[in-house]
């Protein structure tokens, strides 16, 4: 077994041991998607250490435990339609595609042209060609394909972007970090009930890069 494979097993088994990774489907997806294809070549050996890594621009690929936390909350099912805001490396979108399967659909939006090219290239390298990646301001969502079963915002918003709530299906879920650029940020879970009412829960403190665009931090 290569050093990288060893590190991957260790990280994933540790997430299971500490109770952050509980669902067999999420574990299977994390075992399958080659995280090393989504990091910069100079970080390949560190790909499976449980930390966030810089990619291009101001973007980062989140730490493996962050994906476990978000996916355990989201409870994606086969066939669901998912929107990701902030493609970054493309790794999150590749995991989402594994979780929703062939019959599901993943759309990921990236605002930074350089990062968009990076994510697109990585998804292709990983043979994940059936993820739809679009260069656009995701803070307004993506009306054309709405409504969604689940929306993942992977950049910190000043407050929950209103258009995203509108683009959730009844029973739809959203995970969104909310907070200050440098200060404390909380990962928020939102579920839209059948009657349109919202259920909201704080999951944990997090560190994400700021959300830009119309419903993000405009000064960035």
Q: Contact region for ligand SAH (CB under 6 A) — 42-50, 75-83, 136-144, 168-176?
A: 136-144
- The secondary structure of 9-49 as a DSSP string is HHHHHHHHHTTS---HHHHHHHHHS-GGGGS-GGGGGGTTS
| By CB under 6 A, residue 74 contacts ligand SAH | no
Q: Which is nearer to ligand SAH, 171 or 204 (CB)?
A: 204
**Does the protein bind ligand SAH through residue 86 (CB under 6 A)?**
yes
The 3-state DSSP class for residue 61 equals strand
Contact 126/37 with Cβ under 8 angstroms? yes
98 binds ligand SAH (CB under 6 A): no
**Binding-site residue total for ligand SAH (CB under 6 A)?**
25
Q: Which of 11, 62, 167, 185 binds ligand SAH (CB under 6 A)?
A: 62
Of 176-215, binders to ligand SAH (CB under 6 A) are 209, 211-213
Rounded to the nearest whole angstrom, what is the least distance from the CB of residue 186 to ligand SAH in the complex?
A: 17
Catalytic residue among 62, 87, 89, 139: 62
- Strands 60-61 and 53-54 come out as antiparallel
Phi and psi at residue 92, to the nearest 5°: -60, -45
Cβ neighbours around 95 below 10 Å, total: 25
Binding residue (CB under 6 A) for ligand SAH from 69, 76, 115, 123:
115
Query: Count H helices, E strands: the chain?
Result: 6, 9
Cα–Cα distance, 108 to 188 (Å, whole number):
19
Are 137 and 212 in contact, with CB atoms under 8 Å apart?
A: yes
89 is catalytic: no
Nearer to ligand SAH, 172 or 216 (CB): 216
Which member of 137, 163, 191, 203 binds ligand SAH (CB under 6 A)?
Answer: 137
156 binds ligand SAH (CB under 6 A): no
SS3 51: coil
- Residue from 155, 174, 176, 206 in contact with ligand SAH (CB under 6 A): 155
d(CA 218, CA 212): 6
Q: Which residues are catalytic?
A: 62
Binding site for ligand SAH (CB under 6 A): 59-62, 85-86, 88-89, 91-92, 109-112, 115, 137-139, 154-155, 209, 211-213, 216
């Amino acid at each position: 077994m290569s050093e990288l494979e060893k590190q991957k097993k260790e990280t994933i088994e540790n997430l299971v041991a500490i109770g952050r990774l509980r669902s067999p489907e999420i574990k299977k997806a994390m075992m399958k998607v080659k995280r090393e294809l989504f990091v910069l070549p100079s970080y390949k050996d560190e790909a499976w250490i449980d930390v966030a890594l810089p990619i291009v621009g101001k973007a980062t690929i989140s730490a493996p435990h962050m994906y476990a936390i978000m996916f355990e909350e989201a409870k994606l099912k086969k066939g669901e339609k998912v929107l990701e805001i902030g493609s970054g490396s493309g790794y999150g979108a590749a995991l989402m595609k594994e979780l929703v399967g062939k019959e599901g659909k993943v759309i990921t939006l990236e605002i930074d042209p350089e990062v968009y090219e990076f994510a697109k290239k990585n998804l292709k390298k990983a043979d994940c060609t059936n993820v739809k990646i679009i260069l656009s301001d995701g803070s307004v969502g993506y009306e054309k394909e709405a409504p969604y079963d689940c929306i993942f915002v992977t950049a910190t918003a000043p407050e929950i972007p209103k258009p995203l709530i509108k683009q959730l299906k009844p029973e739809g879920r959203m995970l969104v970090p909310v907070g200050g650029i440098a200060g404390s940020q909380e990962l928020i879970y939102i579920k839209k009930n059948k009657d349109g009412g919202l259920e909201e829960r704080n999951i944990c403190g997090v560190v994400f890069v700021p959300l830009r665009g119309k419903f993000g931090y405009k000064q960035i």
